[in-house]
Structure 1
Amino acid sequence: MNYSFKILPNSELESIVPLVFDLNQGKVDKSVLSSRFNEMKNQNYECAVITNNKEIVGVTGLWFCTRHYSGKSVEIDHVYIKPDHRNKGLGKQFMTWIHTYCKKKGFESIELNTYVQNHPSHKFYYNEGFKILGYHFLKRI
Protein backbone atom coordinates (compact mmCIF):
# COMPACT_ATOMS: atom_id res chain seq x y z
CA MET A 1 0.00 0.00 0.00
CA ASN A 2 1.19 3.47 -0.85
CA TYR A 3 -0.40 5.75 1.79
CA SER A 4 0.16 9.47 2.09
CA PHE A 5 -1.36 12.28 4.14
CA LYS A 6 -2.23 15.77 2.97
CA ILE A 7 -4.55 18.73 3.33
CA LEU A 8 -7.26 18.59 0.70
CA PRO A 9 -7.82 21.87 -1.16
CA ASN A 10 -11.22 23.40 -0.39
CA SER A 11 -12.07 23.13 -4.07
CA GLU A 12 -11.99 19.33 -3.68
CA LEU A 13 -14.16 18.96 -0.56
CA GLU A 14 -16.93 17.36 -2.59
CA SER A 15 -14.70 14.27 -2.94
CA ILE A 16 -15.01 13.41 0.78
CA VAL A 17 -18.82 13.44 0.87
CA PRO A 18 -19.10 9.67 0.18
CA LEU A 19 -16.77 8.87 3.11
CA VAL A 20 -18.60 11.16 5.54
CA PHE A 21 -21.90 9.71 4.29
CA ASP A 22 -20.60 6.22 5.17
CA LEU A 23 -19.34 7.46 8.55
CA ASN A 24 -22.83 8.74 9.37
CA GLN A 25 -24.36 5.49 8.11
CA GLY A 26 -26.49 7.40 5.63
CA LYS A 27 -28.26 9.45 8.33
CA VAL A 28 -27.39 12.73 6.60
CA ASP A 29 -28.30 12.99 2.92
CA LYS A 30 -25.38 13.47 0.50
CA SER A 31 -26.88 16.70 -0.86
CA VAL A 32 -27.06 18.10 2.68
CA LEU A 33 -23.44 17.08 3.31
CA SER A 34 -22.36 18.77 0.06
CA SER A 35 -24.14 21.96 1.04
CA ARG A 36 -22.63 21.95 4.54
CA PHE A 37 -19.09 21.31 3.30
CA ASN A 38 -19.54 24.17 0.85
CA GLU A 39 -20.33 26.46 3.80
CA MET A 40 -17.49 25.04 5.91
CA LYS A 41 -14.93 26.20 3.33
CA ASN A 42 -15.13 29.67 4.90
CA GLN A 43 -15.24 28.70 8.59
CA ASN A 44 -11.65 28.04 9.83
CA TYR A 45 -11.94 24.49 8.50
CA GLU A 46 -9.40 22.32 6.74
CA CYS A 47 -9.75 18.73 5.61
CA ALA A 48 -6.95 16.20 6.04
CA VAL A 49 -7.05 13.02 3.99
CA ILE A 50 -5.27 9.72 3.66
CA THR A 51 -4.69 8.67 0.07
CA ASN A 52 -3.66 5.35 -1.38
CA ASN A 53 -2.52 5.70 -5.00
CA LYS A 54 -4.56 8.93 -5.32
CA GLU A 55 -7.76 7.33 -3.89
CA ILE A 56 -9.03 8.97 -0.69
CA VAL A 57 -9.30 6.19 1.91
CA GLY A 58 -9.45 8.28 5.09
CA VAL A 59 -10.57 11.71 6.20
CA THR A 60 -10.85 14.08 9.12
CA GLY A 61 -11.87 17.68 9.49
CA LEU A 62 -9.71 20.18 11.35
CA TRP A 63 -11.46 23.11 13.03
CA PHE A 64 -9.07 25.87 14.15
CA CYS A 65 -9.88 28.27 16.98
CA THR A 66 -8.66 29.75 20.26
CA ARG A 67 -10.33 28.53 23.44
CA HIS A 68 -10.08 30.10 26.87
CA TYR A 69 -9.14 26.79 28.56
CA SER A 70 -6.75 25.30 25.97
CA GLY A 71 -5.34 28.18 23.92
CA LYS A 72 -4.87 27.73 20.18
CA SER A 73 -6.82 24.55 19.59
CA VAL A 74 -7.67 22.18 16.76
CA GLU A 75 -10.81 20.09 16.94
CA ILE A 76 -10.65 16.97 14.80
CA ASP A 77 -14.01 15.98 13.39
CA HIS A 78 -15.55 13.21 11.28
CA VAL A 79 -12.55 10.88 11.48
CA TYR A 80 -13.13 7.97 9.11
CA ILE A 81 -10.99 5.31 7.45
CA LYS A 82 -12.54 2.97 4.91
CA PRO A 83 -13.01 -0.54 6.38
CA ASP A 84 -10.56 -2.24 3.99
CA HIS A 85 -7.77 0.02 5.28
CA ARG A 86 -8.34 -0.39 9.01
CA ASN A 87 -6.27 -2.38 11.53
CA LYS A 88 -3.00 -1.61 9.73
CA GLY A 89 -1.70 1.14 12.02
CA LEU A 90 -2.99 3.79 9.64
CA GLY A 91 -5.07 5.61 12.27
CA LYS A 92 -2.02 5.99 14.50
CA GLN A 93 0.06 7.27 11.57
CA PHE A 94 -2.71 9.72 10.67
CA MET A 95 -2.91 11.06 14.24
CA THR A 96 0.88 11.50 14.31
CA TRP A 97 0.75 13.39 11.01
CA ILE A 98 -2.12 15.60 12.29
CA HIS A 99 -0.24 16.31 15.54
CA THR A 100 2.89 17.35 13.63
CA TYR A 101 0.93 19.44 11.11
CA CYS A 102 -1.02 21.32 13.81
CA LYS A 103 2.03 21.88 15.99
CA LYS A 104 3.89 23.39 13.01
CA LYS A 105 0.95 25.78 12.54
CA GLY A 106 1.44 26.95 16.15
CA PHE A 107 -1.49 25.19 17.81
CA GLU A 108 -1.30 24.02 21.43
CA SER A 109 -3.97 21.34 21.76
CA ILE A 110 -6.10 18.87 19.85
CA GLU A 111 -9.68 18.09 20.86
CA LEU A 112 -12.36 15.76 19.56
CA ASN A 113 -15.80 14.32 20.21
CA THR A 114 -16.64 10.66 19.77
CA TYR A 115 -19.98 8.94 20.00
CA VAL A 116 -20.71 7.40 23.41
CA GLN A 117 -21.35 3.94 21.93
CA ASN A 118 -18.16 3.93 19.81
CA HIS A 119 -16.03 2.00 22.33
CA PRO A 120 -13.23 1.05 19.90
CA SER A 121 -12.59 4.76 19.24
CA HIS A 122 -12.43 5.46 22.98
CA LYS A 123 -9.64 2.91 23.42
CA PHE A 124 -7.82 4.27 20.37
CA TYR A 125 -7.93 7.89 21.58
CA TYR A 126 -6.87 6.91 25.12
CA ASN A 127 -3.87 5.16 23.58
CA GLU A 128 -3.13 8.33 21.61
CA GLY A 129 -2.92 10.35 24.85
CA PHE A 130 -6.37 11.99 24.82
CA LYS A 131 -8.21 12.51 28.12
CA ILE A 132 -11.95 12.87 28.68
CA LEU A 133 -12.79 16.45 29.68
CA GLY A 134 -16.59 16.36 29.68
CA TYR A 135 -19.71 15.57 27.72
CA HIS A 136 -20.80 17.02 24.41
CA PHE A 137 -24.45 18.06 24.31
CA LEU A 138 -26.60 18.92 21.30
CA LYS A 139 -30.00 20.59 21.08
CA ARG A 140 -31.63 21.11 17.71
CA ILE A 141 -33.28 24.51 17.21
Structure 2
Amino acid sequence: MYSIQLIPKEKLEIILPFLKLLSPKRSIKTLHERLIEMISEKYECVGVYDQDKLIGISGMWFLTKYYIGKHIEPDNVFILPEYQGKGVGKLLMNWIFEYAKSKGCKASELNCYINNKKGQKFWENQGYELIAYHYQKKI
Protein backbone atom coordinates (compact mmCIF):
# COMPACT_ATOMS: atom_id res chain seq x y z
CA MET A 1 0.00 0.00 0.00
CA TYR A 2 1.13 3.52 -0.69
CA SER A 3 1.42 6.35 1.81
CA ILE A 4 1.32 10.06 1.03
CA GLN A 5 2.75 12.76 3.24
CA LEU A 6 4.36 16.17 3.24
CA ILE A 7 8.12 16.06 2.94
CA PRO A 8 9.64 18.15 5.76
CA LYS A 9 11.56 21.19 4.52
CA GLU A 10 14.78 19.96 6.09
CA LYS A 11 14.51 16.73 4.01
CA LEU A 12 13.50 18.23 0.66
CA GLU A 13 16.85 17.42 -0.92
CA ILE A 14 15.51 13.87 -1.42
CA ILE A 15 13.47 15.20 -4.37
CA LEU A 16 16.58 16.28 -6.33
CA PRO A 17 16.84 12.99 -8.30
CA PHE A 18 13.21 13.42 -9.38
CA LEU A 19 13.85 17.03 -10.42
CA LYS A 20 16.86 15.86 -12.43
CA LEU A 21 14.65 13.35 -14.28
CA LEU A 22 12.22 16.16 -15.05
CA SER A 23 14.96 18.60 -16.09
CA PRO A 24 17.89 16.54 -17.41
CA LYS A 25 19.63 19.60 -18.93
CA ARG A 26 19.91 21.32 -15.56
CA SER A 27 22.73 20.44 -13.18
CA ILE A 28 22.04 19.07 -9.73
CA LYS A 29 23.87 22.13 -8.38
CA THR A 30 21.44 24.50 -10.16
CA LEU A 31 18.42 22.45 -9.10
CA HIS A 32 19.66 22.45 -5.49
CA GLU A 33 20.21 26.22 -5.49
CA ARG A 34 16.73 26.81 -6.89
CA LEU A 35 15.17 24.42 -4.39
CA ILE A 36 16.76 26.34 -1.51
CA GLU A 37 15.33 29.58 -2.89
CA MET A 38 11.91 28.01 -3.45
CA ILE A 39 11.79 26.79 0.15
CA SER A 40 12.29 30.39 1.27
CA GLU A 41 9.28 31.30 -0.91
CA LYS A 42 6.96 28.93 0.97
CA TYR A 43 7.26 26.01 -1.45
CA GLU A 44 5.85 22.75 -0.13
CA CYS A 45 6.30 19.24 -1.48
CA VAL A 46 4.38 16.03 -0.96
CA GLY A 47 5.76 12.54 -1.50
CA VAL A 48 4.22 9.19 -2.35
CA TYR A 49 5.94 6.23 -0.74
CA ASP A 50 5.92 2.51 -1.40
CA GLN A 51 6.90 1.48 2.11
CA ASP A 52 10.10 3.54 2.65
CA LYS A 53 10.80 4.18 -1.03
CA LEU A 54 9.90 7.60 -2.45
CA ILE A 55 8.10 6.87 -5.74
CA GLY A 56 6.46 10.18 -6.59
CA ILE A 57 6.44 13.87 -5.79
CA SER A 58 4.48 17.03 -6.34
CA GLY A 59 5.51 20.51 -5.42
CA MET A 60 2.76 22.82 -4.22
CA TRP A 61 2.33 26.56 -4.44
CA PHE A 62 -0.54 28.37 -2.75
CA LEU A 63 -1.55 31.57 -4.53
CA THR A 64 -4.35 34.07 -4.71
CA LYS A 65 -5.19 35.68 -8.05
CA TYR A 66 -8.00 38.06 -8.81
CA TYR A 67 -9.60 35.84 -11.46
CA ILE A 68 -9.69 32.57 -9.49
CA GLY A 69 -9.10 33.40 -5.82
CA LYS A 70 -7.06 31.21 -3.50
CA HIS A 71 -5.82 28.12 -5.29
CA ILE A 72 -3.14 25.48 -5.36
CA GLU A 73 -0.68 24.95 -8.17
CA PRO A 74 0.78 21.45 -8.28
CA ASP A 75 4.29 21.75 -9.72
CA ASN A 76 6.80 19.22 -11.02
CA VAL A 77 4.49 16.28 -10.50
CA PHE A 78 6.40 13.08 -11.18
CA ILE A 79 5.78 9.39 -10.56
CA LEU A 80 8.58 6.90 -11.22
CA PRO A 81 7.93 5.17 -14.57
CA GLU A 82 7.53 1.71 -13.03
CA TYR A 83 4.64 3.05 -10.90
CA GLN A 84 2.87 4.98 -13.66
CA GLY A 85 -0.47 3.64 -14.84
CA LYS A 86 -1.22 2.08 -11.45
CA GLY A 87 -3.41 4.81 -9.98
CA VAL A 88 -0.61 6.42 -7.97
CA GLY A 89 -1.01 9.81 -9.69
CA LYS A 90 -4.74 9.86 -9.01
CA LEU A 91 -4.15 9.01 -5.33
CA LEU A 92 -1.58 11.80 -5.12
CA MET A 93 -3.90 14.35 -6.72
CA ASN A 94 -6.80 13.39 -4.45
CA TRP A 95 -4.52 13.96 -1.44
CA ILE A 96 -3.41 17.32 -2.87
CA PHE A 97 -7.01 18.45 -3.45
CA GLU A 98 -8.00 17.58 0.12
CA TYR A 99 -4.92 19.34 1.49
CA ALA A 100 -5.69 22.41 -0.63
CA LYS A 101 -9.28 22.49 0.64
CA SER A 102 -7.99 22.36 4.22
CA LYS A 103 -5.95 25.50 3.44
CA GLY A 104 -8.99 27.33 2.03
CA CYS A 105 -8.35 26.79 -1.69
CA LYS A 106 -11.28 26.86 -4.09
CA ALA A 107 -9.48 25.74 -7.25
CA SER A 108 -6.30 24.34 -8.77
CA GLU A 109 -4.23 25.49 -11.74
CA LEU A 110 -1.11 24.04 -13.29
CA ASN A 111 1.23 24.14 -16.26
CA CYS A 112 1.86 21.22 -18.60
CA TYR A 113 4.38 21.29 -21.42
CA ILE A 114 3.00 21.37 -24.96
CA ASN A 115 4.88 18.22 -25.99
CA ASN A 116 3.79 16.24 -22.91
CA LYS A 117 0.77 14.49 -24.45
CA LYS A 118 0.69 11.81 -21.76
CA GLY A 119 0.62 14.50 -19.08
CA GLN A 120 -2.12 16.42 -20.86
CA LYS A 121 -4.28 13.30 -20.96
CA PHE A 122 -3.62 12.70 -17.25
CA TRP A 123 -4.64 16.24 -16.31
CA GLU A 124 -7.78 16.09 -18.41
CA ASN A 125 -8.67 12.79 -16.69
CA GLN A 126 -8.25 14.62 -13.36
CA GLY A 127 -10.88 17.17 -14.43
CA TYR A 128 -8.60 20.01 -15.55
CA GLU A 129 -9.63 22.09 -18.57
CA LEU A 130 -7.32 23.82 -21.00
CA ILE A 131 -8.20 27.51 -20.60
CA ALA A 132 -5.08 29.45 -21.55
CA TYR A 133 -1.57 29.41 -22.95
CA HIS A 134 1.40 29.94 -20.67
CA TYR A 135 3.98 32.30 -22.18
CA GLN A 136 7.53 32.80 -21.03
CA LYS A 137 10.22 35.34 -21.84
CA LYS A 138 13.69 35.39 -20.35
CA ILE A 139 14.86 38.83 -19.25
Any conservation in 2 of the 1:44–1:65 contact (CA below 8 Å)? no
Task: Write the distance in 2 (CA, Å) between the matches of 1:59 and 1:97.
Answer: 12
Q: How far apart are 1:140 and its partner, in Å?
A: 1.3
Equivalent residue, structure 1, for 2:45 = 47
Q: Choose which of 53, 57, 60 in structure 2 pairs with 1:59.
A: 57
Q: How far apart are 1:44 and its partner, in Å?
A: 2.5
Any conservation in 2 of the 1:65–1:72 contact (CA below 8 Å)? yes
Matched, 1:114 2:112: yes
Counterpart AA for 1:114: C
Equivalent residue, structure 2, for 1:14 = 13
Task: Write the distance in 1 (CA, Å) between the matches of 2:25 and 2:49.
Answer: 25
Equivalent residue, structure 2, for 1:84 = 82
1:34 alignment partner, SS class: helix
Q: Percent identity?
A: 38
Equivalent residue, structure 1, for 2:2 = 3
| Structure 2 length-normalised TM | 0.96
Counterpart AA for 2:98: T
Q: What per-residue deviation string (whole Å, max 9, x for no partner) do you get for residues 46-95 of structure 1? A: 00111111211101110111111110011111010011111101111111
Counterpart AA for 1:122: Q
Counterpart AA for 2:104: G
Counterpart AA for 1:32: T
| Runs of 4+ in structure 1 over 6 Å off | none
Counterpart AA for 2:64: T
Q: Choose which of 31, 34, 42 in structure 2 pairs with 1:33.
A: 31
Q: Within 5 Å, which residues of 2 pair with 1:65-80?
A: 65-80=63-78
